[in-house]
Structure 1
Amino acid sequence: MTSTLRVEIAPATVEETGALTTMVRTSAAYTGEYRVMVANQTIDAAYIAQHLTRVAHGPDGELLGFVTLQVPGRGGPGEGEVDFMFVADDAQGRGIGRLLIEDLVEQAAALGLHRLHAVSHPPSAGFYRGCGFRDVAVIEPYGRIGWSRPHLVLTLG
């Protein structure tokens, strides 16, 4: 699906960190038992200084979503991990998530990475598969996370 919206993707700014945190903590995808996973997550200046963080803005500058990359993450040298991938609740289904992943793939390739990992929120695994990720493992429950999560990878290039 291609977004019919004019979307600009750019590096996140410190001024946006509060909105990014709110997007994570209030996401409708993390209701019920899943809320514990995001309830205390914070995206702050230190986080965006350490991790590639890309934001999608709509034509009026509204924040539509964001994606982050951890390097190193899971895997070995030349591999990174999608850490956060969120699209605003009212912007979902318009192709914004796919645009963010496509941008992240370009950014990761420019960094010399050859593989991306994603440990997915179970209801979001189909999104990653639709973007070309493939299942490689299952992360068993631990700590406050009481459910299994798919571990997926995408080979770049």
Structure 2
Amino acid sequence: MGSTIIRRAVGQDAERLTALVQGADAYRGTYASIISDYRVTADYIARHQVFVAVDTDGRVLGFYALVLDPAELDLIFVADEAQGRGIGRLLVAHMIEQAGHAGLGDVRVVSHPPAEKFYRRLGAERVGAVAPSPPKVAWERPELRFVIGR
């Protein structure tokens, strides 16, 4: 896979990031409704701290979006073919670094239920749950927090 570079996303990345979200196997079946019409837009990229992991050939391996106010890891996706290679861990470490530079004390994560263990392995603490909001989200979602500066 070669080296991975994390860079700030630009508006021209919006289509590729949307394709990554829409193609995520983790959101098939039960969880499909939450991303069915989701789009990452150039405006979203301009308003938030969006970073993309790419390989040396420029292929998108994953990305995350950190919202600063209120502090939340709004999105994090790793391409299906890049999973299991440490890209998610790299993105979370980068997000924590960026949150620290921004002076944040903690970062909230409302997790996709199957991803809770991933976040907890990386140091997030479960602080509660977010109730379903049908019809789009018919299941409870774990709420976690990364404490910054530990």
1:34 aligns with 2:28: no
Structure-2 separation of matches of 1:64 and 1:134: 26
Give the one of 67, 70, 73 matched to 2:67: 70
Matched ranges for 1:122-137 at <5 A: 122-137=113-128
1:111 aligns with 2:102: yes
Moved over 6 A (4+): none
TM-score, normalising length: structure 1: 0.91
Matched ranges for 1:8-157 at <5 A: 8-73=5-70, 80-143=71-134, 144-157=136-149
Q: Deviations over 1:114-137 (max 9, x none)?
A: 101100000011110011001000
- Residue 69 of structure 2: SS of its match in structure 1? coil
Q: Deviation of residue 140 (structure 1)?
A: 1.1
Q: Deviation of residue 61 (structure 1)?
A: 1.3
Instruction: Point out where structure 1 has 5 or more consecutive residues left out of the alignment.
Output: 74-79
TM-score, normalising length: structure 2: 0.95
Structure-2 separation of matches of 1:113 and 1:5: 32
AA paired with 1:113? Answer: L
Aligned to 1:77: none
- Residue 113 of structure 1: SS of its match in structure 2? coil
Instruction: Point out where structure 2 has 5 or more consecutive residues left out of the alignment.
Output: none
Q: How many residues align?
A: 148
The RMSD of aligned alpha carbons is: 1.0
- Residue 19 of structure 1: SS of its match in structure 2? helix
Q: Deviation of residue 5 (structure 1)?
A: 4.1
Structure-2 separation of matches of 1:5 and 1:67: 20
AA paired with 2:137? Answer: I
